[in-house]
């Protein structure tokens, strides 16, 4: 039985990540893990997991970061990956079993309301920006921490600071009947924590101290242009437009390809990204 409350505060997100975004992420899991690997590493370094610790991975998705954390804590530790997407969790469980990482387990749960067992640390890679009530969610996660416990995560800064998303989007806007509406700046979504001052207030109001919100700028990407184009057309703002305008896809694809080709080099396609690396206790 699902632990996600279908009438709970994040029911809309649960439906979206189970029915729409989750299956797409599953299909492109390997390529997305490659794209985000260096950002995962930066956030894991901020958490600094130790052997024997018990950790929670919020919004664990297909399990890439959960498995890496499980390797860090070793067989005497434990990592619980929590997510609201059943399709993604199925992949995560299979990957953990294949890797023999018995210290990793998974739960389908809303981290805003789920009663977690005590942990030494909470981690997330782009999994904490979707809460309907971010203060309540972080307060719930803080309650799960043992004395001396800490949290570390990576989240996006403003979309305008991220050519990895704006470059392909700008290329297709002239092809659209009208530009897509901009979401409210504080609405749950990828850029909900773009405002570092707001994020500071959320964590402080949730009871965290020793808050550090550090800007992290790094070019991320893929080994080849075809992969870069496929991901852009299936994920993020361009992916959303492509899904709602399938008739335009033959025109969107070459526009996206042209935009991303300018970032191609000997190491593949590398496009600037802007994130926050956040830690607190």
**pLDDT above 80: residue 135:** yes
Structure tokens at 73: 């804590």
Q: What is the arithmetic mean of pLDDT over 217-237? A: 94
Please state, for a pLDDT cut of 90, what percent of the chain lies above it.
83
Structure tokens at 98: 């294949």
In which region does residue 276 sit, left (phi positive, over 0), alpha (psi from -120 to 50) or beta (all else)?
beta
Under 8 Å between Cβ of 273 and 234:
no
Pairing type for strands 268-280 and 212-222 reads antiparallel
Q: What is the arithmetic mean of pLDDT over 33-57? A: 97
Name the least confident of 11-20, 67-76, 179-188: 11-20
Closest CA to 74 of 95, 45, 44, 54: 54
Structure tokens at 155: 């989240």
User: Which phi and psi (to 5°) does residue 130 adopt?
Assistant: -110, 5
Under 8 Å between Cβ of 120 and 145:
yes
- Distance from chain centroid for Cα 227: 19
Q: What pLDDT, on a 0 to 100 scale, did the predictor assign at position 6?
A: 52
Each residue of 2-15: b (16+ CB within 10 Å) or e? eebbeebbbeebbe
Continuous segment of H or E residues that includes residue 24: helix 21-27
Confidence of residue 1 (pLDDT cuts 50, 70, 90): very low
- Distance from chain centroid for Cα 120: 21
Structure tokens at 5: 């409350």
Q: What is the 3-state secondary structure (H, E, C) of 136-193?
A: HHHHHHHHHEEEEEEEEEEEECCHHHCHHHHHHHHHHHHHCCCCCCCCCCCCCCCCCC
Q: What pLDDT, on a 0 to 100 scale, did the predictor assign at position 20?
A: 72
Q: Model's pTM, two decimal places?
A: 0.94
In angstroms, how far apart are the furthest CA atoms of the chain?
A: 57
Beta bridge partners, 80, equal 56, 105
Confidence of residue 2 (pLDDT cuts 50, 70, 90): very low
């Amino acid at each position: 039985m699902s632990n996600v409350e279908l009438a709970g505060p994040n029911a809309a997100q649960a439906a979206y990540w189970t029915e729409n975004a989750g299956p797409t992420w599953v299909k492109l899991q390997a390529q997305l893990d490659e794209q985000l690997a260096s950002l995962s590493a930066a956030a894991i370094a901020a958490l600094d997991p130790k052997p024997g610790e018990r950790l929670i991975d919020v919004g664990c998705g297909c399990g890439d970061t959960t498995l890496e954390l499980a390797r860090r804590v070793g067989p005497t530790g434990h990592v619980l990956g929590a997510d609201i997407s059943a399709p993604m969790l199925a992949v995560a469980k299979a990957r953990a079993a294949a890797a023999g990482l018995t210290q990793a387990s998974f739960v389908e749960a809303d981290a805003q309301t789920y009663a977690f067992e005590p942990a030494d640390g909470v981690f997330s890679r782009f999994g904490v920006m979707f809460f309907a009530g971010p203060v309540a969610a972080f307060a719930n996660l803080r309650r799960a921490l043992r004395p001396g416990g800490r949290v570390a995560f990576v989240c996006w800064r403003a979309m305008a600071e991220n050519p990895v998303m704006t470059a392909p989007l700008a290329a297709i806007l002239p092809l659209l009947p009208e530009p897509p509406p901009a979401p409210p700046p504080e609405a749950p979504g990828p850029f909900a924590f773009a405002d570092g001052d707001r994020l500071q207030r959320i964590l402080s109001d949730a009871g965290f101290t020793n808050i550090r919100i550090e800007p992290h700028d790094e070019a991320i990407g893929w080994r080849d242009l075809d992969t870069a184009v496929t991901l852009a057309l299936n994920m993020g703002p361009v992916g959303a437009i492509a899904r709602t305008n399938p008739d335009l896809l033959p025109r969107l694809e070459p526009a996206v390809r042209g935009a991303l080709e300018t970032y191609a080099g000997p190491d593949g396609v590398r496009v600037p990204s802007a994130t926050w690396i956040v830690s607190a206790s």
